[in-house]
Amino acid sequence: VEAETAKIAALAADFRSRIADLPLMVCSESLSNAVTPLMTANCSAYDIFTVLKDEYGIWVCPNGGEYKDRIFRVGHIGQLTVEDNQVLSDALHDLVKRGILK
């Protein structure tokens, strides 16, 4: 259990470091290693979810309700790897270049 907890914490830290330069804000008063909630400022979070799913084959967790267009979440539990973080980070950086994530 301790090794799995450390793996999850390392994956979360790795992902967060890879996206530090993106126009996204980690939004949580008590951040968990299980998930990273990300807030967009100038684009639709739901559109980011849809483009990642439809064009990149990457699933993140959309938000609902009043925050549907502001927040999406990235999980760090399960059969995920540092390579998965790299793939998602590359896709998010590509969305910036495409003008979708701004």
Residue range 40-98, pLDDT digits in tens: 999 999 999 999 999 999 999 999 999 999 999 999 999 999 999 999 999 999 999 99
- Report the C-alpha gap between 98 and 16 in whole angstroms: 21
Determine the pLDDT at residue 78: 95
pLDDT band at 33 (very low <50, low <70, confident <90, very high): very high
Q: What is the pTM of this model?
A: 0.95
Nearest C-alpha neighbor of 45 from the set 63, 58, 27: 63
CA angle 76, 82, 88 (to 5 degrees): 75
> How confident is residue 32, by pLDDT bands cut at 50, 70 and 90?
very high
Report the pLDDT value the prediction gives residue 40, as an integer from 0 to 100: 97
d(CA 58, CA 46): 13
Instruction: DSSP for 75-99, please give it.
Output: E--SS--HHHHHHHHHHHHHHHHTT
